[in-house]
Amino acid sequence: MGDRQTKDNLFDGFAEVAKAMASGRRAELIDVLEQGERHVDQLAAEIGQSIANTSFHLRGLAAVGLVTTRRDGNRIYYRLASQRVAELWSALRDVAATHHAELDSLAASYLGNRAGLDEISRAELARRLADGDVVVIDVRPAEEYRAGHITGARSVPIESIQQQLAGLPRDVEVVAYCRGPYCVYADDAVRKLTGAGRRARRLEDGYPQWHQAGLPVSANT
């Protein structure tokens, strides 16, 4: 009890969790699963990998307890094991953004120039929703909206925003949100809306951060 070997084993056990996330594809899987459970085919399409590679990564995450599964017929659905896994991913992302010198340039390369995109804070959006003077649109895929969304938000998947534009009121500001601070869907939505002459902003982060903050959410079951 308390010897060097048992301490090594303990800390190696902690490191196994970090090792399980030591892949960009696995981090992306956690990011997607933070929005709600998905089956392997959907996850493979999301991360641009084969079903075999995606299954391999998911098994690695499951081996250390970060994801769990359920079977529905021939399909296996994956989900995060707990909210703590989402908090771990959020903390990792925040630490990387603060301390990884290259992350700003990597993010800018992916997200493009956000200089012309206005943002709204969670606190301000919560007040505006309570006052009823804003339209909020969830531009994530419809299944993610069904799994959980900001209470009062409309589902307007990014690929359908052009068709649904006419149904959005012209005299009210529109706020778009998606998966989080590194999701491009809300950026694209705001560009399309402002390009059509609408007043629009993006939420400062996304649905998971809204949920973690204890703000009102709903789900369609």
Tell me which residues are annotated as active site: 178
Handedness of CA 111, 115, 116, 118 (dihedral sign): positive
Kind and range of the H or E run holding 5: helix 4-20
**The residue count for the chain:** 221
Strands (DSSP E) contained in 49-199 are: 67-72, 75-80, 119-120, 134-138, 149-150, 154-155, 173-178
Angstrom distance (rounded) from CA 138 to CA 150: 8
Q: Which of 105, 93, 98 has its CA nearest to residue 208?
A: 93
Angstrom distance (rounded) from CA 58 to CA 16: 15
Hey, is 215 helix, strand or coil? coil
